[in-house]
A and B are shown apart, each in its own frame.
Chain A
Amino acid sequence: RKEVEQDPGPFNVPEGATVAFNCTYSNSASQSFFWYRQDCRKEPKLLMSVYSSGNEDGRFTAQLNRASQYISLLIRDSKLSDSATYLCVVNLFNDMRFGAGTRLTVKP
């Protein structure tokens, strides 16, 4: 089983749609969790951290369920500029482990 698993997509959605990405991780000792965004041929950039209580940053909401070892990212009111690959990242003892990413394309 992979350490961090994501649905690779692609997700093709119209502007204004709400889209959700899921991620599962295998090691229950994982300590912290993040969503990164990676544009084509660019480096990943931190989008947001994920907390058990859930956290929101504008149109983005992240949730963590430790019992199920599951992380989610919800994007509301999608914009064209949201098109990218979204990487789920899990920190285990200061080792950041990346999922393969979920590709999102937002269309006009």
Chain B
Amino acid sequence: GAVVSQHPSWVICKSGTSVKIECRSLDFQATTMFWYRQFPKQSLMLMATSNEGSKATYEQGVEKDKFLINHASLTLSTLTVTSAHPEDSSFYICSARVSGAAAYEQYFGPGTRLTVT
């Protein structure tokens, strides 16, 4: 149980285009989902916290108009990188917290590798 999927697993896009990444909890409901970014040899950096049915909470320094997050259901959150640039190339990982559970009951998706050319 407690499987989180992400799609796509790898995407290459041209500068200026937008990319949507999906995060799904497959066998549990997740009121809260998290989006992280990880650059090579660096730690996971929390970008935003997404709650089902409400606006996402963004971490300081993360542009909400550039990284659009939608959490329309208890099993799906999406991150759209708008007008992507090469510096947005990174590993994007989502995690989903089991509804009503403690913080550590948080499961990670396999990540999406974004390369912007």
Residues in A lying within 8 Å of B, measured CB to CB: 4, 8, 31-32, 34, 41-46, 49, 87, 91, 94-101
Other than the known A96-B34, A99-B43, what 7 A-B pairs have Cβ atoms closer than 8 Å? Answer: A34-B104, A42-B110, A87-B43, A87-B44, A91-B103, A98-B36, A100-B42
Tell me if B103 and A43 are in contact (CB < 8 A): no
Which residues 39-60 of B sit at the A interface, judged by CB distance below 8 A? 41-46, 49
Tell me if A32 and B110 are in contact (CB < 8 A): no
Tell me if A43 and B104 are in contact (CB < 8 A): no
Contact of A49 among B42, B104, B108 (CB under 8 A): B104
> CA of A49 to CA of B106 in the docked complex: distance in angstroms?
13
Contacting residues, chain B, for A87 (C-beta < 8 A): 43-44
Tell me if A41 and B91 are in contact (CB < 8 A): yes
The minimal Cβ–Cβ distance linking B2 to chain A, given in whole angstroms, is 10
Q: Tell me what chain A mostly uses at the interface: helix, strand, loop, or mixed.
A: strand
Tell me if B46 and A44 are in contact (CB < 8 A): no
Tell me if A100 and B106 are in contact (CB < 8 A): no
**B87-116 interface bits toward A, Cβ cutoff 8 Å, 1 = contact, 0 = none:** 000010100000000111010111101000
Tell me if B104 and A91 are in contact (CB < 8 A): yes
> Across the two chains, which residue of chain A brings its CB closest to B93?
A43
Tell me if B110 and A101 are in contact (CB < 8 A): no
> Across the two chains, which residue of chain A brings its CB closest to B49?
A95
Contacting residues, chain A, for B103 (C-beta < 8 A): 31-32, 91, 94-96
Tell me if B43 and A101 are in contact (CB < 8 A): yes
Tell me if A98 and B104 are in contact (CB < 8 A): no
Contacting residues, chain B, for A31 (C-beta < 8 A): 103
- Asked whether A43 and B111 contact (CB < 8 A) given A34-B104, A91-B103, A91-B104, the answer is yes
Can you list 22 pairs linking A and B with CB atoms under 8 Å apart? Answer: A4-B43, A32-B102, A32-B103, A41-B91, A43-B108, A43-B109, A45-B108, A49-B104, A87-B44, A91-B103, A91-B104, A94-B103, A96-B46, A96-B103, A96-B104, A97-B46, A98-B36, A98-B44, A98-B45, A99-B43, A100-B43, A101-B43
